[in-house]
Amino acid sequence: MQKLFVQGGTRLKGRVRIGGAKNSAVALLPATILANSEVVIEGLPNISDVETLSALLEEIGGTVKRSDDSVHIDPAQMTAMPLPNGKVKKLRASYYFMGAMLGRFKRAVIGLPGGCHLGPRPIDQHIKGFEALGAEVTNEQGAIYLRAEKLTGARIYLDVVSVGATINIMLAAVKAKGRTVIENAAREPEIIDVATLLTSMGAKIKGAGTDVIRIEGVDELTGCMHTIIPDRIEAGTYTIMAAAQGEDVLIDNVIPQHLEPLLAKLREMGVEIEEGEEQLRIRPAKKLTAVDIKTLVHPGFPTDLQQPFTSLLTKAEGTAVVTDTIYTARFKHIDELRRMNAQVKVEGASAIVSGPVQLQGAKVRATDLRAGAALIIAGLMAEGITEITGLEHVDRGYEQLTEKLTNLGAKIWREEMTDQEVEQLQS
């Protein structure tokens, strides 16, 4: 186990290249189960979630070969092997094995998913969708059992706008008999990316990226080649880092439209942003002014950038209210930021940040992926050294983070933890 050290105060300068989208990758990999021959995905990020899902594809009989920038998955020999425990518990997105295996085999046994602890994260809408398509779904000793004689297209209205449920229902419906309509669907770019892959495999999907998705079931899906979209949350994280501590930072391989809510808020704070076709250039504000944010479903401000953005607000002048309407308890980073001298209090689903303050380096713990990003941003701004544990969360979603930040001039390094430190952390 490793910990991360950040020596604060250096200015970031140079170019950083963004990798493939984590939240697409984690759905694209299970989606390959639905094909009958090799699928090649280019540009997958080098993160532990991709390794875990690749291992799960191998566990059910797939062949996964990784070359430089692409992954070749041969799903031909896959079976409906139950996956009740083990790696499925490591991440939330293992729930996509439910939709994909149900679509291909008409049955699946998948352990309840793990992932970041952001408060309650039910999967009732996924199950509602599977049942509407004709599956019987039971929860037996912590695993979800799905069985269907056949899947038949249906009209499904999501009571909650959910990324996971939208994708999972698409995965199950592409091979169902007849037409499925998903109403009140989520509209994230990752949903369009998954629909693009499925369409290249031969699926008939219309409306991905809007709140009504129509799917005409087909009998067979074939292999294909797909290039993943860039990670808007990784790009957003580096954009916030540049706003916090940058001199002149160029962010490469980004779709600026995916980041509009963040860019609008940063401009309101005074940050200078130039948008290119696939690039963003960030220059610092003369003075950072506090702004309120409220997370919403896409295309609103993404909850995944709420925690990193809160760190930036500690440097801004004034009081800011940060409200998370998607995960109302996604505030575990706040206690850690307080250890670093941040003036923040949590009231219900909001954090109230007063600034500016000079953060101080401290020993802190990343409790989840984006909390980790928030603490690294805080560490970059702080006086002295910040020591961050809980790196396994960060490595699930940020590829080559230490290398990318070192290239930008940050003083950041990893060290192995002693056995005693690991014990203390786990107690």
Nearer to ligand EPU, 164 or 355 (CB): 164
| Angstrom distance (rounded) from CA 331 to CA 301 | 16
Nearer to ligand EPU, 125 or 386 (CB): 125
The rounded distance, in Å, linking the Cα atoms of 381 and 238 is 13
**Among candidates 163, 166, 187, which has minimal Cα distance to 299?**
187
Site for ligand EPU contains 121 (CB under 6 A): yes
Among 16, 25, 47, 92, binds ligand EPU (CB under 6 A): 92
The neighbour count for residue 219, using CB atoms within 10 Å, is 7
Q: Return d(Cα 348, Cα 244) in angstroms, integer.
A: 27
The residue range among 101-109, 158-166, 200-208, 272-280 that interacts with ligand EPU, by the rule CB under 6 A, is: 158-166
Active site residue 224: no
- CB of 113 vs ligand EPU, minimal distance in Å: 8
Q: What secondary structure does DSSP assign to 197-242, as a single string? A: HHHHTT-EEE-BTBSEEEEE--S-----EEEPPB-HHHHHHHHHHH
Strand 279-283 to strand 246-252: parallel, antiparallel, or no bridges (unpaired)? antiparallel
Minimum CB distance to ligand EPU, residue 247 (Å): 28
Q: Taking each helix axis as running N to C, give the angle between helix 332-339 and helix 369-381, from 0 to 180 degrees, rounded to the nearest 10.
A: 20
Question: Quick one: which of 193, 231, 234, 304 contacts ligand EPU (CB under 6 A)?
Answer: 304
Q: Is 123 in the site for ligand EPU (CB under 6 A)?
A: yes
**Phi-psi domain of 197 (left: phi exceeds 0; alpha: psi -120 through 50; beta: other):** alpha
**By the rule CB under 6 A, 234 interacts with ligand EPU:** no
**Number of residues this chain uses to bind ligand EPU (CB under 6 A):** 26
Site for ligand EPU in 31-90 (CB under 6 A): none
CB closer to ligand EPU out of 3 and 330: 330
| Minimum distance, C-beta of residue 191 to ligand EPU, in the bound complex (Å) | 10
List 389's β-bridge partners, or say none: 365
Report the residue from 229, 364, 369, 405 that binds ligand EPU according to the rule CB under 6 A.
Answer: 369
73, 93, 208, 394: residue in contact with ligand EPU (rule CB under 6 A): 93
Which of 16, 41, 78, 116 is flagged as catalytic? 116
CA neighbor of 279 nearest in space, from 265, 264, 259, 298: 259
Q: Which of 326, 371, 374, 382 binds ligand EPU (CB under 6 A)?
A: 326
Q: Which of 4, 83, 116, 381 is in the footprint of ligand EPU by CB under 6 A?
A: 116
Residue (197 or 362) nearer to ligand EPU, CB: 197
**In the set 54, 162, 367, 389, which binds ligand EPU (CB under 6 A)?**
162
Whether the Cβ atoms of residue 400 and residue 17 lie closer than 8 Å to each other: no
Q: Please give the angle made by the CA atoms of 295, 301 and 305, to the nearest 5 degrees.
A: 85
Among 52, 94, 196, 303, indicate the residue that binds ligand EPU (CB under 6 A).
Answer: 303
Instruction: Report whether 99 contacts 169 (CB < 8 A).
Output: yes
Question: Sign of the CA dihedral 54, 58, 59, 62?
Answer: positive
CB of 156 to ligand EPU, least distance (A): 12
Q: Which residues bind ligand EPU (CB under 6 A)?
A: 23, 26, 92-93, 116, 120-126, 160, 162-165, 186, 233, 303-304, 326-327, 369-370, 397
> What positions carry a catalytic annotation?
116
